[in-house]
């Protein structure tokens, strides 16, 4: 069996640290660059328009989160099943899985684009837009909605390309788009004077380029060879994909609910404070973008580990599954701890990158950022564990770990704490949640490892 694995795939025999490094570093870079789509927009919009522009991109951000929910569900679910079937020696099933995931992403992207354009204004209002923010939010989202099919395809196909063992190509596809976005943003906004519309068009064009680069990779897959029939969506494979990617969907979709709820709470309780509604909404958007950078690093590490988990669990190399998990937790915790120090020591300097504001603005921004990111070291472990379970085919456990954080803890705390502490309650709901979710994740992991054979 070991000889067959060595011949078939290095995931079954190569040194874990070397595998994780080779798979995770490109994934981290790709995720970071992908996150820069929103961060770069926010920086240029903040510098060119001010914090109302930042607030507008925050109002639009739940739509990006919906795309992440769907894209990662089909992408991570598809990649997990792709590697599991390869590990079991079923290349035909691997092909059908990847093809079904790719075509479904395009179909859902088109449906989402049409729906958002029809209900644009009521969506922006329901997401928490104030009178001052609404027009900016509608202009920005109305344009970026054209890029949704391409954004979904990029998010979902990226893990599939990594699952084929070509992490560098998946990284480069995203980097090219992000670099293009960084060039076009200032060109459209400050040279052509298109304002917030310029940032939106820069994003759309960049997403089209990244998606095109990923599309032309399919004929180059190393582990399987596709035919057109493989891209006809099949319900049987779609059910498996969704079941394994459901933890990602739960995390991102519940994150979207939390975003919308938080925006509306900041709008309501901010109006009763000295800060008003617009400052808290703008600051929340900036801090969320900073948090996305942190999450991108953690998810890159987890996505790098995912093929190792899936293949070796499918091949019953349980000792390699354990070794990978131990290394993953060590690395994510160390990186998160370094970022924690940076975020706590330099909050004002980081916030200043997103535009200027008065003393009241920076006072709230500094406090919010330090509090929101207080337990990111523990959060890194929780995210790693939540994504580990679907990698080994146990989607329900992964969904529970994700659901516990967003729905069981954070959502109720957001509704309860502000009733007693006002705006302060909204701020402190996140770190309390991170602590509680970490405890749940650790309990699930310990229980799972007790039932995984050591050999």
pLDDT in tens, the chain (455 residues): 444 444 456 777 778 888 888 888 888 887 787 677 667 777 888 887 777 888 888 888 889 889 988 998 999 889 888 888 887 888 888 888 999 999 999 999 999 999 999 999 999 999 988 888 899 999 999 999 999 999 999 999 988 998 888 878 988 888 898 889 889 989 999 999 998 899 999 999 999 999 999 999 999 888 888 888 889 988 988 998 888 787 678 777 877 888 899 999 999 999 999 999 889 998 998 898 888 888 888 888 988 888 888 788 877 788 888 888 889 999 999 999 999 999 999 999 999 888 777 889 899 999 999 999 999 999 999 989 988 887 787 878 887 887 888 888 999 999 999 999 999 999 999 999 999 999 999 999 998 888 777 66
Q: So what's the pLDDT on residue 2?
A: 44
pLDDT for the residue 455: 62
pTM of the predicted structure, to 2 decimals:
0.74
Q: What is the pLDDT of residue 8?
A: 57
The whole-number pLDDT of residue 214 equals 95
Q: Is 232:174 a contact under the CB 8 Å cutoff?
A: no
């Amino acid at each position: 069996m070991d000889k067959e694995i060595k011949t078939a795939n290095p995931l079954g025999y190569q040194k874990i640290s070397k595998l994780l490094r080779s798979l995770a570093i490109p994934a981290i870079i790709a995720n970071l660059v992908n996150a820069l789509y929103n961060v770069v927009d926010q920086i240029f919009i903040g510098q060119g328009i001010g914090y109302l522009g930042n607030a507008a991109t925050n109002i639009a951000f739940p739509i990006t989160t919906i795309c992440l929910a769907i894209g990662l569900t089909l992408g991570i679910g598809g990649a997990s099943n792709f590697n599991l079937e390869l590990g079991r020696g079923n290349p035909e099933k691997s092909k059908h899985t990847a093809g079904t995931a790719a075509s479904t992403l395009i179909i859902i992207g088109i449906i989402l684009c049409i729906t958002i354009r029809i209900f644009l204004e009521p969506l922006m209002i329901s997401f928490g837009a104030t009178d001052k923010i609404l027009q900016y939010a509608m202009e920005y989202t109305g344009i970026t909605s054209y890029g949704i099919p391409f954004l979904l395809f990029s998010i979902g196909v990226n893990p599939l390309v990594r699952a084929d063992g070509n992490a560098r190509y998946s990284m480069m596809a995203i980097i090219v788009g992000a670099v293009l976005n960084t060039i076009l943003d200032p060109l459209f906004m400050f040279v052509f004077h298109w304002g917030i519309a310029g940032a939106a068009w820069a994003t759309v064009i960049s997403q089209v380029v990244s998606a095109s680069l990923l599309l032309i990779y399919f004929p180059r897959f190393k582990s399987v060879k596709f035919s057109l029939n493989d891209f006809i969506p099949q319900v049987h494979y779609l059910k498996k994909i969704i079941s394994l990617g459901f933890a990602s969907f739960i995390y991102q979709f519940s994150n979207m609910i939390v975003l919308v709820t938080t925006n509306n709470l900041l709008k309501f309780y901010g109006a009763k404070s000295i800060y008003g509604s617009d400052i808290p909404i703008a600051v929340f958007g900036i801090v969320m973008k900073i948090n996305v950078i942190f999450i991108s690093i953690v998810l890159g590490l987890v996505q790098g580990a995912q093929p190792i988990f899936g293949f070796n669990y499918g091949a019953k190399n349980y000792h390699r599954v354990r070794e990978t998990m131990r290394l993953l937790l060590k690395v994510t915790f160390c990186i998160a701890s370094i970022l924690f120090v940076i975020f706590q020591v330099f909050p004002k300097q980081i916030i200043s990158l997103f535009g200027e504001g008065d003393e009241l603005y920076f006072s709230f921004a500094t406090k919010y950022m330090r509090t929101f990111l207080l337990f990111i070291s523990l959060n890194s472990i929780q995210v790693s564990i939540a994504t580990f379970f679907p990698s080994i085919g146990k989607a329900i456990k992964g969904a529970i770990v994700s659901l516990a954080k967003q729905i069981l803890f954070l959502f109720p705390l957001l509704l309860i704490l502000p009733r007693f502490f006002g705006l302060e309650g909204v701020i402190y709901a996140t770190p309390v949640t991170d602590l509680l979710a970490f405890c749940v994740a650790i309990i699930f992991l310990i229980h799972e490892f007790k039932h995984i054979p050591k050999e």
